[in-house]
Structure 1
Amino acid sequence: MEAQDGGRLRHAAQAGGRVLISGASFAGLATAYWMKTLGYDVTVVEIAAGLRKGGTPVDIRGETIGVVRRMGLLDAIRRKALPPRRTEFKNADDITQARIPARPAVLDSPDEEYEIDRDDLLDIMFGAVCADVDILFGTSVLRLQETSDGVSAWFSDGARQDFTLVFGCDGTRSSTRRLVFGNDEDVMHFMGLYSFLKVVDRRLIESNVTQIFSVPGKTVMLNGYDDKTDIAFGFRSDREIPYEHRDIEQQKQLIRDQFEGLGWRIPDLLKEVDAAEDFYFDKLCQIRMPAWSRGRVALVGDAGYCPSPAAGMGGSMAIIGAAALADALERHGDDHVAAFRDYDEGLRPFVEKVQEDAMSFGLTMFAPETEAAIADRDRRLAEMSAER
């Protein structure tokens, strides 16, 4: 494993104190790593009974490569990286209309990138912090109250503790954000798309292949890797659809209503939907906030600036954001007001570009709205593939 450049931060730490982090996914674990490196006493609380396993693989590319190198995790990520996948765009007769070839990683180059199983990345990041921070599973924050020199936190187990700073790293539906900033609906921006995701532990297609089938406003995607297959359905809607979040049969019916009668492999895939007991279904949205901090509380990752799955940057954004926060705190020592302002001003242009790309490019690529848009997408991708 590489030498950890975090030593620079470790020796620069001045503030010390206690830090509370809500959420133990990528944002929470990355923030825990950097806060411990800065010299803070770190407590992480996670409402789930353990790490939240499952879900699609995570892309590590661009700025994220440099961050995980600084954290000393790049070698471990390289060892666990999935083989590159080619992408095939299918029509109803299973004919490939366009293809993007697999791109092997080029070490130590500007184009170096990896895809890693979400569970493997969680294990790597958890291993980097679990011996040095307190992680309390099955625990959530019920109340936060700022004092003259810190924040008091009340927990679901009845305990109360005081902290110097608090970081909300608890995802798109962040409870920290609700406790500190209030009404969630003001910052959740619906992107006009609903998605269903199920990971099955067997091969439905060849490994190291992604297949995508689209009709106007609707897309189905299969990702084959290891001995798993991701099944994703997505459909556009010009309005938000009311449904009961705990009613899985109602959510399955929404998918059936949208996709029954279509070709390709959809009849068989709808059988997988019918059999699914554990899956993800939700609207795609972005979190857009005028500020990511209030007082001594700051948000990191999806809680503050979710770009949506259409960006393909959720895990990377969390890792980048945690490092940006740590760098700001290093520069400003115990002046958290200046540090949080620096964090916001420095990272916001990058966040806004990623969010805009998700709206203008990601949605167009994943779920074109018309037959002409589908044909244009396939033509553009074919041209891009020919140029490589």
Structure 2
Amino acid sequence: MPTSTPMSGASLAEPRSVLVSGASFAGLATAFWLNRLGYRVTVVEVAPSLRRGGTPVDIQGETIAILTSMDLMEAVRERTLPPRSFAFKDAKNTTLGEMAHHPDDEAGPRYEIHRDDLLEVLSGAIGGDVELLFNCSIVAIEERPEGVSATFSDGSRHEFALIFGCDGNRSNTRRLVFGDGEQFTHFMGGYFYLKVVPDTGLLPPNSSEVFAVPGRMAMLNGYDDRTDIGFGFRTAGEIEYDHRNKDQQRRLIEEHFSGLEWKVPDMLAHIGDDNNFYFDRISQIRMPTWSQGRITLVGDAGYCVSPFAGLGGSMAIIGAGRLADALARHPDNYAAAFRAYEEGLRPFVEQVQERAAIDSVQMLFPGDEAEMAERDRKLAFGDIGV
């Protein structure tokens, strides 16, 4: 795994010196490709180490092709999880509809890998070839004709030819370059909680179960050694809460789900009082453009598709691969490369976002009785589009 090392600044940008903000899937994959293209790459990450935890990642289609071209697909296959079933349940735990996930289906091979394992694969691939600085973030960006200047949180200032924002749906890079990030946030009418705990025995390994009543959803993912506990609730509009206040977020879940049937009481008992969980509004990032001058965005920072699309990690890897291809085709013209990257990827992003905003959310947790009836009708006919 790469380690933090002191960075040597320069008064003027070296033509091949670039900065990546964020060390998750988008940042690590982008750093890999930039290094392969011959750039001198620095990655800054505000966290003290790689951000671990979260649900597994689906690897299929174009993502397989990109990981294969990175010589990483074999490492992914070695860590692939067993196929997992998916069932919709009612309050008495009766199965309303189900589907089996197979490695190969009509869409081609499909793999699932724990998020931490994929992080290890990607971080190992950049090794010591990329400068990786933890506990570090960008606080100011100034672009000039000959390059772009970044001031770091330690007060130091460095020059780069290009900057790549790969820092998630609350992107600091997006805020610094494009302005208030809220203008690009498309709220999807709800909030989602996820906690990974040791095996709870609430469901068999290699299976997922979902229970819903109008406006509320409880989900379990079972693996050999752990269980994902998920809750989601719908709202008419955004609610006031502090995204840093974990106690407040736990209370929101308890208030919304206390008194529900199925396995919900046992799930709530596993919430505990630690802060190792994810809670956020269900939203997408929709921007008129992902680039400005010498800065461009990759992954959730520019086009978050929401947790319910099931393609967040894959979209980051696809985005990095498409960007690398554009830079390779336009090696001496970053503006043309950024334009080709966006024109090629945007139609796919918008298609996935539209599907997630309508089909996935309504299927997983219907907002009212009408949506619930439509979901049940689809289940009866085996039309499970998640």
**Matching of residue 184 in structure 1 with residue 178 in structure 2:** no
Residue matched to 1:225: 223
Q: Is the Cα–Cα contact under 8 Å of residues 47 and 137 in structure 1 kept in the other structure?
A: yes
Secondary structure of 1:273's partner? coil
Shift of 1:245: 2.2
The 3-state SS of whatever aligns with 1:307 is: coil
TM alignment of 1:72-91, pairs within 5 A: 72-91=71-90
The residue identity in structure 1 corresponding to 2:179 is G
Cα offset for 1:373? Answer: 3.2
**Alignment match, 1:136:** 133
User: 2: distance between equivalents of 1:87 and 1:78?
Assistant: 22
Identity %: 55
State whether residues 188 and 288 of structure 1, in contact with CA within 8 Å, keep that contact through their aligned partners in structure 2.
yes
List alignment gaps of at least 5 residues for structure 1: 1-14
Change beyond 3 A, Cα 1:80–1:382: farther
**Quick one: distance in 2 between partners of 1:268 and 1:311?**
27
Q: Secondary structure at the match of 2:236?
A: coil
* Residue 343 of structure 1 pairs with residue 305 of structure 2: no
Deviations along 1:170-201, whole A, 9 cap, x unmatched? Answer: 00000000111111111011110101110002
- State yes or no: 1:290 paired with 2:288: yes
CA contact (8 A) 1:141 1:153 kept: yes
Match of 1:213 among 211, 214, 226: 211
Q: How does 1:324-363 map to 2 (within 5 A)?
A: 324-363=322-361
Cα shift at 1:265 = 1.0
Which structure 2 residues correspond to residues 65-76 of structure 1 after superposition, within 5 A? 65-76=64-75
| 2:315 aligned counterpart, secondary structure | helix
Deviation at 1:16, TM superposition (A): 5.6
CA contact under 8 A between 1:220 and 1:232: conserved in structure 2? yes
Are the equivalent residues in 1 in contact too, given 2:96–2:379 (CA < 8 A)? no
Q: CA deviation at 1:226?
A: 2.5
What one-letter code is carried by the residue in structure 1 that aligns with 2:301? A
The aligned amino acid for 2:239 is: I
The normalised TM-score by structure 2 is 0.92
Aligned with 1:45: secondary structure? strand
User: Among 235, 242, 245, which residue is 1:244 paired with?
Assistant: 242
| One-letter amino acid matched to 1:117 | H
2:304 paired with 1:306: yes
Q: Secondary structure at the match of 1:249?
A: helix
- Displacement of 1:62: 1.8
2:364 counterpart residue number: 366
Cα separation, 2, equivalents of 1:229 and 1:176? 34
Task: Kindly provide the amino acid, as one letter, of the partner of residue 307 in structure 1.
Answer: V
Separation of aligned partners in 2, 1:208 and 1:257: 30
SS of residue paired to 1:384: coil
- How far residue 101 of structure 1 moved from its aligned partner, in angstroms, is 1.7
Structure 2 counterparts to residues 58-69 of structure 1, below 5 A? 58-69=57-68
Match of 2:144 in 1: 147
- Root-mean-square deviation (CA, aligned residues, Å) is 1.7
Q: Which residue of 1 aligns with 2:5?
A: none
Give the aligned residue type for 2:119: L
Cα separation, 1, equivalents of 2:287 and 2:87: 36
Residue 346 of structure 2 aligns to a residue whose secondary structure is helix
In 1, Cα distance between equivalents of 2:81 and 2:211:
23
Q: Structure 2 matches for 1:34-183, cutoff 5 A?
A: 34-105=33-104, 110-183=107-180
- In 2: Cα distance, 1:244 partner to 1:144 partner: 27
Matches within 5 A, 1:4-23: 17-23=16-22
Mapped to 2, the partners of 1:134 and 1:247 lie a distance apart of: 32
Name the CA distance, whole Å, in 2 between partners of 1:100 and 1:382.
Answer: 12
Find the aligned partners of 1:272 and 1:201 in 2 and give their Cα distance.
10
Distance 1:35-1:232 versus aligned 2 partners, 3 A rule: same
The number of aligned residues is 370
Query: Structure 1 length as normaliser, TM-score?
Result: 0.92
Shift of the alpha carbon at 1:361? 1.1
* Contact kept in structure 1, 2:199 and 2:223, CA below 8 Å: no
CA offset at residue 285 of structure 1?
Answer: 0.8
CA contact (8 A) 2:217 2:231 kept: yes
TM superposition shift of 1:249:
2.0
Bigger CA drift: 123-132 or 368-377?
368-377
TM superposition shift of 1:269: 1.4
**For the residues of structure 1 that align with 2:86 and 2:336, how far apart are their CA atoms?**
45
Paired with 2:113 and 2:316, the residues of 1 have a C-alpha distance of 15
Contact 2:188 2:284 in 1 (8 A): yes
Judge which range, 352-361 or 95-104, deviates more: 95-104
C-alpha distance in 1 between matches for 2:75 and 2:381: 35
Aligned to 1:261: 259
